[in-house]
Amino acid sequence: MTTTAEPRITARRRATRDRVLEAASEVFAERGFHGATVEDICERAGFTRGAFYSNFSSKDDLVVELSQRHSEALVDRIRRASKREHAGADEVLRDVFAALADDSRSKERWLVLTTEFTLHAIRDPEARRAWAAQQRRVRDELVTVVDEAVARQGLTLPIPTELFVRAAISLAQGSMTQRLVEPRSLTVGELERTVLPILLGVAD
Amino acid sequence: MTTTAEPRITARRRATRDRVLEAASEVFAERGFHGATVEDICERAGFTRGAFYSNFSSKDDLVVELSQRHSEALVDRIRRASKREHAGADEVLRDVFAALADDSRSKERWLVLTTEFTLHAIRDPEARRAWAAQQRRVRDELVTVVDEAVARQGLTLPIPTELFVRAAISLAQGSMTQRLVEPRSLTVGELERTVLPILLGVAD
DNA sequence: TGCATCCGATACGTTGTCGTATTCAATTCG
DNA sequence: CGAATTGAATACGACAACGTATCGGATGCA
């Protein structure tokens, strides 16, 4: 422990970190956290392992940072979705999950990564604390947004907003997952479209 | 390819297969499919790798058989739960998921394994076909059971039974997952207890 | 322009994991 | 009881992935 001097974060360094992280999210989604080797990630990013270990102390180290970015990006998307005009609570939620990605490829990536992070969190206490905090942030953001939308529509939820949000998250992830496993069994958003209005108490 | 003679399945052979499969389900739950080595599994089962390769051609081979047992066991539990007297649809579902395991340890194991199988299915087309078929069997069984229970209660579901079952599965898995990541944030079954009655149209 | 520093590439030894070939004990069956 | 077969243990070679130590080119700065 000679010095704990943090190396200055030059633009170059930031760029390679970004490229490595982006590559990692692709490879993790494709092969899973354990299945992806450091070499795989570096190859995808166009670097060698030397570059990797110059920027991250380990794969776990990288995962921590990746999961933070992952959650922060989702919070951002929720904020942006809530800015849309005249959006009802169900529309807001649909916007949120629709905005998870531009194409279905990256929506799949988001879901798989979320699942990987969750599994990792279940297994590792340290990761669990971090992931739990991040999930709480996402949920809080959703609660705020839903409360606003519900008030705007003059509705009253039959259950506490947080429970509603938890249910919505479960339904969205569950139907996405089912669609990935059995593509022809469920049309896009069918589950949320039928179930959410009932939970909102606005079954037409 | 001298002979394709299937070796007779003696009692001894069956016993070691069982022990290896049981050990594998533990180790897979703890370390994930990729994270678990064949050696790990054998050590847990009390065998050496020689025994493993005498019984399974590869880890993938073992996974196929394990996922079949996993789903069959769930179908059995659903059948047994449906035999209970005077059970309403929500009670039946709660029985089903309560019966997933005796203790919460093995309920966690069930959830983690299910998630692992799902991820594996998303990534591997061959595994996907098998897993999709198994999921369909589980769902069909649930649909039958729920239909019976609903009729018994003289209710009419506000949505098709299959959608209801899909929603119930998503809710159950989602809330179990949330509980594993944030143990103190959700009391046991709270999500299903509040949401399912609404979906059943019997919000008291 | 020249020097110092940064950062990624290269090269290397180590370890973990795999799958197979072979051995040896147990059991089945004549 | 002896011979044949089955099934798990052992031993081995090959290879993949890791992490580090070192090198060299680029970049910032005087």
- 3-state DSSP of A35-85: CCCHHHHHHHHCCCHHHHHHHCCCHHHHHHHHHHHHHHHHHHHHHHHHCCC
Tell me which residues from 88 to 117 on chain B have a beta carbon below 7 angstroms from nucleic acid strand D. Answer: none
Q: Is the pLDDT of residue B85 over 80?
A: no
For residue B154, is it left (φ>0), alpha (ψ between -120 and 50) or beta?
A: left
Q: Is the pLDDT of residue B21 over 70?
A: yes
Q: Which residues of A touch B166 (CB under 8 A)?
A: 174-175, 178, 186, 191
- Hey, is A32 helix, strand or coil? coil
CA of A63 to nearest chain B CA: how many angstroms apart? 15
- Report the C-alpha gap between A177 and A113 in whole angstroms: 12
Q: Does the C-beta of B10 come within 7 A of strand D?
A: yes
Q: Does the C-beta of A181 come within 7 A of strand D?
A: no
Share of chain B above pLDDT 70, in %: 94
- Report the C-alpha gap between B74 and A28 in whole angstroms: 30
User: So what's the pLDDT on residue A8?
Assistant: 63
Angle at which helices B190-200 and A161-181 pack, to 10 degrees? 80
User: So what's the pLDDT on residue B150?
Assistant: 92
CB-CB contact of A42 with A20 (8 Å): yes
Section B101-115 average pLDDT: 90
Instruction: Give pairs for B41-48: CB < 8 Å, separation 24+.
Output: B45/B16, B45/B19, B45/B20, B46/B19, B47/B16, B47/B19, B47/B20
Q: Is the pLDDT of residue B174 over 70?
A: yes
Q: Which residues of A touch B131 (CB under 8 A)?
A: 181
CA of A167 to nearest chain B CA: how many angstroms apart? 6
Angle at which helices B11-31 and B59-82 pack, to 10 degrees? 90
Distances (CA, A) of B70 to B34, B110, B131, B145, B167: 18, 8, 10, 19, 21
User: So what's the pLDDT on residue A6?
Assistant: 52
- B122–A180 C-beta distance less than 8 A: yes
Residue B120 pLDDT class (50, 70, 90 cuts): very high
User: So what's the pLDDT on residue B7?
Assistant: 52
Instruction: Give pairs for A105-112: CB < 8 Å, separation 24+.
Output: A107/A176, A108/A29, A108/A180, A108/B122, A109/A25, A109/A26, A109/A29, A110/A70, A111/A173, A111/A176, A111/A177, A111/A180, A112/A28, A112/A29, A112/B119, A112/B122
CA of A147 to nearest chain B CA: how many angstroms apart? 18
**Cβ partners under 8 Å of residue A106, min gap 6:** A100
Distance A24 CA to D21 C1' (A): 26
Other C-beta atoms lying within 10 Å of the C-beta of residue A195: 27
Q: Is the pLDDT of residue B88 over 90?
A: no
Q: Which nucleotide is nearest to A41 (CA to C1')?
A: D17
Write the pLDDT tens digit of every residue in B139-155.
999 999 999 999 999 99
User: So what's the pLDDT on residue B188?
Assistant: 83
Q: Does the C-beta of B51 come within 7 A of strand D?
A: yes
Q: Does the C-beta of A60 come within 7 A of strand D?
A: no
User: So what's the pLDDT on residue A7?
Assistant: 54
User: So what's the pLDDT on residue A2?
Assistant: 35
Distance A49 CA to C10 C1' (A): 10
User: So what's the pLDDT on residue B3?
Assistant: 37
- Report the C-alpha gap between B107 and B113 in whole angstroms: 10
Q: What does each of the 204 residues of chain A score in pLDDT, given as a tens digit?
A: 333 345 567 888 999 999 999 999 999 999 999 999 999 999 999 999 999 999 999 999 999 999 999 999 999 999 998 888 767 888 888 888 777 767 788 899 999 999 999 999 999 999 999 999 999 999 999 999 999 999 998 999 999 999 999 999 999 999 999 999 999 998 888 898 899 999 988 755
Say how many residues make up chain A: 204
Residue B40, classified by CB atoms within 10 Å of its CB into exposed (0-12), middle (13-18) or buried (19+), is middle
Section B62-85 average pLDDT: 93
CA of B8 to nearest chain A CA: how many angstroms apart? 35
User: So what's the pLDDT on residue A61?
Assistant: 97
Say how many residues make up chain B: 204
Q: Does the C-beta of A12 come within 7 A of strand D?
A: yes
Of B118, B181, B191, the CB nearest to A132: B181
How many A×B Cβ pairs under 8 Å?
129
Write the pLDDT tens digit of every residue in A130-170.
999 999 999 999 999 999 999 998 999 999 999 999 999 99
3-state secondary structure chain B: CCCCCCCCCCHHHHHHHHHHHHHHHHHHHHHCCCCCCHHHHHHHHCCCHHHHHHHCCCHHHHHHHHHHHHHHHHHHHHHHHHCCCCCCHHHHHHHHHHCCCCCHHHHHHHHHHHHHHHHHHHHCHHHHHHHHHHHHHHHHHHHHHHHHHHHHHCCCCCCCHHHHHHHHHHHHHHHHHHHHHCCCCCCCCHHHHHHHHHHHCCCC
- B30–A34 C-beta distance less than 8 A: no
Distance A37 CA to D15 C1' (A): 15
Q: Return the closest-CA partner of residue A41 out of A60, A61, A59, A67.
A: A59
Q: Does the C-beta of B10 come within 7 A of strand C?
A: yes
Q: Is the pLDDT of residue B203 over 80?
A: no
